[in-house]
C-alpha cells in the first residue's frame, strides 16, 4: 500500500514538472522570436508590445491544435488570423520582411495542405 502511494506521489510530481516545462518554454521561444523581429523589422516599442501580445495569444492555441492533430483548416485559420493582426500593426515594407522571417523563425506556422 505504501509503495502504491509512493508511486502515485512520484507520478504526480512528474506530471507537474512536465506541465511547468510546457507553460514556460513557449514564452521563452516567443521572447527569442520577438527579439529577432524587433531587430530585423526595426519595430517601435508600441509595435513590439502589440506583436508580443499577439504572439502570446495565438502561439499556445496553434501549438495545442498542432499537438492534437487538428485539421489543417483549423490550424491555417489561426495562423491567418495571427498574420492579419500583425498586418494591421506593421508598415507594408515591414510586413513583407515579416513574412520572410516568419518562414525561418516560426516553422510550425507554415500553411498546411
pLDDT digits (tens, 9 = 90+) for 44-83: 999 999 999 998 888 888 888 888 887 888 888 888 998 9
Instruction: Give, as one character, the DSSP assignment of residue 69.
Output: T
Predicted TM-score (pTM) of the model is 0.70
Q: Between these two residues, 17 and 60, which has the higher pLDDT value?
A: 60
Which phi and psi angles does 52 have, rounded to 5°? -60, -45
Name 38's Cβ contacts closer than 8 Å, sequence gap at least 6.
Answer: 48
Report the interhelical angle of 45-67 vs 2-41 (nearest 10°): 140
Sign of the CA dihedral with 81 first, then 84, 101, and 103 last: positive
Cell representation of residue 36: 529577432
pLDDT at 61: 86
**Every domain of the chain and the residues it spans:** 25-109
pLDDT at 8: 53
pLDDT at 112: 59
Cell representation of residue 73: 483548416
Amino acid at each position: 500500500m505504501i509503495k502504491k502511494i509512493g508511486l502515485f506521489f512520484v507520478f504526480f510530481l512528474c506530471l507537474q514538472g512536465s506541465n511547468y516545462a510546457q507553460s514556460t518554454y513557449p514564452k521563452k521561444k516567443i521572447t527569442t522570436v520577438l527579439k529577432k523581429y524587433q531587430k530585423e523589422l526595426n519595430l517601435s516599442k508600441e509595435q513590439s508590445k502589440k506583436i508580443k501580445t499577439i504572439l502570446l495569444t495565438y502561439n499556445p492555441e496553434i501549438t495545442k491544435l498542432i499537438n492534437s492533430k487538428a485539421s489543417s483548416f483549423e490550424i491555417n485559420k489561426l495562423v491567418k488570423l495571427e498574420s492579419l493582426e500583425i498586418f494591421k500593426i506593421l508598415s507594408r515594407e515591414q510586413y513583407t520582411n515579416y513574412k520572410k522571417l516568419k518562414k525561418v523563425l516560426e516553422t510550425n506556422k507554415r500553411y498546411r495542405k
